[in-house]
């Protein structure tokens, strides 16, 4: 909604500019140029693509462009809290989708994995840990992953089993990481994933208070020894018995996963699955 308001404000400027009430330097610009100026503004909040698409589709007026963008930014999916599947909000929405999630990031390969996915026009959630963003190139990697447009999720500060921590420690593991992430990228995560998928009553409450949704996953294999090589991992990720509509795929910041990533994307697309943009999840 924030993006839409920015866009609307932008377009109101355009409209008034064209009717002679705007600033003089804007008056002489054709609408198309004005739209491109708006695109530059929108780019700052990471929504350039949607507006570009609207323009590319040949919309003839700013009103149509607004409608087009509004439609693109509407959430289309929800997370089923019972099984972590991604499900359409309406009948007409494509249901043959999968969600990509990358956990334990950004360790060694996070930014590189983000670049590979970006080049393949795939979005994903990167679930990050404080221990990683506070060492080596962690902060720069996090910034880059965010700037490429990926959703940043909370995977706790130190990746401990939450059921073994006090209520206060659990809260710190979650809230302090949100603070740190906000300091680096300017926004707080919307999604939380507990280490080892172990959620507690306390963690669920904290996640709720932070306005986040928690999720586990439906399948992942890159942490089992026999799948720690490219070939085996690609094969199982694309042919897993758990591959169904809305599957929530767990992967990690690991060398073999980095190497397998492109073939996993291609394999799933060949099977007709669309990889869902987390921004479309309510």
DSSP string of 76-134, one letter each residue? -EEE-TTT--EEESSTTS---EEEEEEEEESSSSHHHHHHHHHHTT---EEEE-HHHHT
Closest distance of CB 68 from Zn ion, Å: 38
The four Cα atoms 105, 106, 108, 114 give a dihedral, to 10 degrees, of 90
Question: Which of helix, strand or coil describes residue 210?
Answer: coil
Closest distance of CB 155 from Zn ion, Å: 6
Phi first, then psi, for residue 75 (nearest 5°) are: -60, 140
| Distances from the Cα of 100 to the Cα of 81, 84, 186, angstroms | 17, 12, 23
Closest distance of CB 104 from Zn ion, Å: 4
Supply 181's token pair: 């992430």
- For residues 8 and 198, which CB has a smaller minimum distance to Zn ion in the complex? 198
Closest distance of CB 156 from Zn ion, Å: 8
- Is the torsion defined by CA of 231, 234, 238, 243 positive or negative? positive
- For residues 159 and 204, which CB has a smaller minimum distance to Zn ion in the complex? 159
Query: CB 211: neighbour CB atoms within 10 A?
Result: 10
- For residues 72 and 141, which CB has a smaller minimum distance to Zn ion in the complex? 141
Q: What residue ranges bind Zn ion (CB under 5 A)?
A: 103-104, 195
Closest distance of CB 180 from Zn ion, Å: 17
- For residues 36 and 160, which CB has a smaller minimum distance to Zn ion in the complex? 160
- For residues 16 and 216, which CB has a smaller minimum distance to Zn ion in the complex? 216
- For residues 50 and 103, which CB has a smaller minimum distance to Zn ion in the complex? 103
Closest distance of CB 92 from Zn ion, Å: 35
Closest distance of CB 73 from Zn ion, Å: 30
Closest distance of CB 58 from Zn ion, Å: 45
Question: Which of helix, strand or coil describes residue 21?
Answer: coil
Supply 232's token pair: 């085996």
- For residues 38 and 103, which CB has a smaller minimum distance to Zn ion in the complex? 103
Instruction: Please give the residue whose beta carbon sits closest to Zn ion in the complex.
Output: 103
What span, in angstroms and rounded, lies between the C-alpha atoms of 113 and 102? 9
Supply 172's token pair: 């710190």
Categorise residue 249: left if φ over 0, alpha if ψ from -120 to 50, beta otherwise: beta
């Amino acid at each position: 909604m924030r993006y839409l308001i920015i866009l609307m404000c932008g377009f109101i400027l355009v409209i008034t500019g064209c009717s002679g009430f705007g600033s003089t330097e804007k008056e002489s610009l054709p609408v198309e140029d004005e739209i491109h100026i708006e695109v530059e503004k929108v780019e700052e909040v990471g929504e350039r693509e949607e507006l570009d698409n609207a323009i590319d589709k040949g919309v003839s007026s700013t009103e149509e462009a607004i409608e087009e963008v509004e439609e693109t930014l509407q959430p289309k999916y929800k997370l089923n809290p019972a099984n972590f599947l991604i499900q359409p909000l309406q009948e007409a929405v494509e249901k043959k989708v999968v969600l990509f999630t990358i956990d334990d990031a950004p360790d060694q390969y996070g930014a590189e994995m983000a670049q590979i996915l970006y080049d393949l026009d795939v979005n994903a959630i990167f679930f990050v840990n404080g221990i990683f963003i506070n060492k080596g190139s962690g902060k720069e990697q996090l910034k880059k992953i965010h700037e490429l447009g990926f959703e940043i999720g909370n995977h706790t500060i130190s990746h401990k089993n939450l059921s073994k921590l006090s209520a206060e420690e659990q809260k710190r593991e979650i809230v302090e990481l949100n603070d740190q992430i906000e300091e680096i990228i300017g926004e707080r995560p919307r999604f939380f994933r507990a280490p080892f998928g172990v959620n507690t009553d306390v963690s669920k409450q904290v996640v709720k208070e932070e306005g986040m949704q928690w999720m586990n996953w439906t399948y992942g294999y890159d942490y089992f020894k026999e799948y720690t090589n490219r070939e085996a991992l690609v094969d199982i990720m694309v042919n897993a018995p758990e591959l169904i509509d809305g599957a929530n795929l767990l992967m990690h910041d690991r060398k073999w996963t980095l190497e397998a990533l492109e073939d996993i994307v291609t394999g799933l697309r060949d099977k007709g699955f669309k990889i869902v943009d987390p921004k479309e999840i309510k």
